[in-house]
Structure 1
């Protein structure tokens, strides 16, 4: 089937395959078919240059397509990952981790290792050394919804 497709459509089969894969990405989003589609289009561009040459049979074209698709996937992952890792708010979805280093006043004393503080508009359960109400504390770590504090 693959050989018949190439024989029938010639070098344009790579462009058609590439555009079909790019269109498939619209139906199945995930940024994966894009790279394979770009590999097919790159193979089509190579076919424009080498179509009449004897060293460019369908087997070499298929290997070229596979290699160019892998290269496109690796380059795409590299560029997308580097952009995604840079953020002006790296702790945006980690609310308790963003509280580490903040200071607060104890609203309820810490007795037997448990107490409460208020940060902004939220009361937080805290653990730490026994301290009285009104003592300034600093958040030193966070796990789940509980903060660990120490005297400031």
Structure 2
């Protein structure tokens, strides 16, 4: 029964496209490479239509592992997340920037205006609403501010 499913070129090609397409619904990186392995068997089977199912399975395993290795190599080559600037690290990009205090800082806590939004912020010194502040660090995910130097 299984032999009949994969004993023709289009079976492997359709399986490869479906498996690679599942990567969109179930993201996890691995299905894409398994799908590429199945596509490779489909292309090989179009060149050698009498290839036995046992050889097809072997070629699938080797092609899948090779494409998976290629995927890991490409991912490693693309660099670490630290190489992508402040992508998904917006609060770290705030360090050194100046903002207006939206509220007065009471007990070291207040809010600052950041573009069209506001952020909870921390401070070691009293700051009045409307004062210009500079973000000096990020503490527990919140910007820590100090009065901005004039000039």
**TM-score class, shorter:** 0.5 to 0.7
Distance (Å, rounded) in 2 between the aligned partners of 1:119 and 1:100: 12
SS at match of 1:62: helix
Are 1:129 and 2:129 an aligned pair?
no
Counterpart contact for 1:137–1:150, Cα < 8 Å: yes
- Confirm whether residue 22 of structure 1 aligns to residue 17 of structure 2: yes
- Aligned: 1:90 with 2:51: no
Between the aligned partners of 1:122 and 1:76, the Cα distance in structure 2 is 40
Q: Deviations over 1:3-51 (max 9, x none)?
A: 4556xx4xxx244222233145546734654433331232344456667
Cα RMSD (Å) of the superposition? 3.9
Note the 1:102-121 alignment, pairs <5 A.
102-121=97-116
Structure 1 pair 51/16, CA: closer, same or farther in 2 (3 Å)?
closer
Mapped partners of 2:116, 2:110: distance in 1: 17
Deviations 1:57-99 (A, max 9, x none): 543331221110122233245547839x6868713xx544443
Q: Does residue 70 of structure 2 align to residue 75 of structure 1?
A: yes
Number of residue pairs aligned between Structure 1 and Structure 2:
141
Unmatched 5+ stretches in structure 2: none
Equivalent residue for 1:64? 59
Q: How far is the alpha carbon of 1:130 from its aligned partner?
A: 1.7
